Amino acid sequence: MKIGILTGGGDAPGLNAVIYALTRICTYKFNCEIIGYKFGYRGLYENNFVTLTPQSTSGILHKGGTILFSSNKDNLFDYLVDDGNGNMIKKDVSDVAVANMKKEGVDVLVVLGGDGTLTSARDFARKGVNVIGVPKTIDNDLASTDVTFGFDSAVNIVTENLGRIHTTAESHNRVFVVEVMGRNAGWIALLSGIAGSADVIIIPEIPYSLDKIVEKIKQRDAVGKNFSIIVVTEGAKEKGGQAVIGKVVSDSPDPIRFGGIGAKIAQDLEPLIEHEVRSVALGHIQRGGDTSPADRILSIRYAYAAANLIAEKKFGNMVCLKNGRMDSVSLEEVIGKPKIVAPVNELVNAASAMGISFGA
């Protein structure tokens, strides 16, 4: 059997770990040949691939990013191509990808990605391609699995940076607003905020009131804590307001780019309190660096589960983690089902009981 692997969407720690483990398991246990398409679905369209072996993937288990590169702009069912007259038009070129796989003798396509990437995986499955999905996103916002690889690494990175910001905030009696990734899901802010001793956590699921943030800071001032740390998810919004959009891009299936909520809160907050307020957007730092040990292990578990689905010919499914055990779910059931933070749950309740404000 010949297996093709591609990584789509934003990069995430753990992609290389899945490639590493899947290559070894499929080579040693199932005697398969493996290739990797470069730059996600674009590589599938251009038939741009490399052969993957235990030797060529040696040393990548711990590394962030992806040796296959990635793209979050290439939907082959709505792909930007030249019409032959110098004009760029959107066109369904998925048949070209299917023909390329047949040409190379690829029996199974393993797709590592989030909701957008897995949507195309489902669409290829509908065309008769043998597809296996592996869930990836640092945002942890896929409802069909308990946790996605990349999330633990991102939480670790944000928590470490909150510790660094904490020392400078305390030294200058400042308030820092730290903007983190997550889009419309507040998981990164919630877990890193709790672990990193934040004083206020602002997430999209709980719209904030500026008055409540001011109240929390003044409470801290009253007991001699003359600095505060606020963690905010990029997609958060004020009560009655809208999320702050950094820009809108035209060449992506997901054109909305959040950004700027941290700076907005800082600007709105400073006139209301007796502190300098600084904002920090951690940005792509959250995606970079080495993969955490927990994400390495999770990635290996996902890879092993994916290899077993291939061996059992259970195509059209995504591997998932349910109640601590590896399982699978149909790609048809995965798409369009985000996992967001419930405004009332154990972690929110625990954080509130410790005195952390959610600005509400």
Q: Which two tokens stand for residue 105?
A: 């003798």
- Percentage of the chain exceeding pLDDT 90: 92
Number of other residues whose CB lies within 10 A of the CB of residue 161: 18
| Model pLDDT for residues 229-244, shown as the tens digit of each residue | 999 999 999 999 999 9
- What is residue 83's predicted lDDT score, i.e. its pLDDT? 86
| Model pLDDT for residues 264-287, shown as the tens digit of each residue | 999 999 999 999 999 999 999 999
CB 149 within 8 A of CB 195: no
Q: Based on the residue annotation, tell me whether 115 is a catalytic residue of this protein.
A: no
E-assigned strand segments in the chain: 2-7, 33-37, 49-52, 79-82, 88-91, 108-113, 131-135, 175-180, 200-202, 228-233, 245-248, 256-258, 277-281, 317-322, 325-330
0.85 surpassed by pTM:
yes
CB 35 within 8 A of CB 49: yes
Say how far apart CA 199 and CA 62 lie, in whole Å: 32
Instruction: For each of the domains in the chain, give its residue range(s) and CATH number, in order of start.
Output: 2-149+291-334 (3.40.50.450), 151-288 (3.40.50.460)
Helix, strand, coil percentages in the chain from 3-state DSSP, rounded to 5 = 40, 20, 40
| 11, 74, 115, 139: the active-site residue | 139
Number of other residues whose CB lies within 10 A of the CB of residue 314: 14
- What is residue 249's predicted lDDT score, i.e. its pLDDT? 75
Strand 317-322 and strand 131-135: pairing?
parallel
| Model pLDDT for residues 180-195, shown as the tens digit of each residue | 999 999 999 999 999 9
Length of the chain (residues): 360
Name every residue whose Cβ is closer than 8 Å to that of residue 211 and which is 6 or more positions away in sequence.
Answer: none
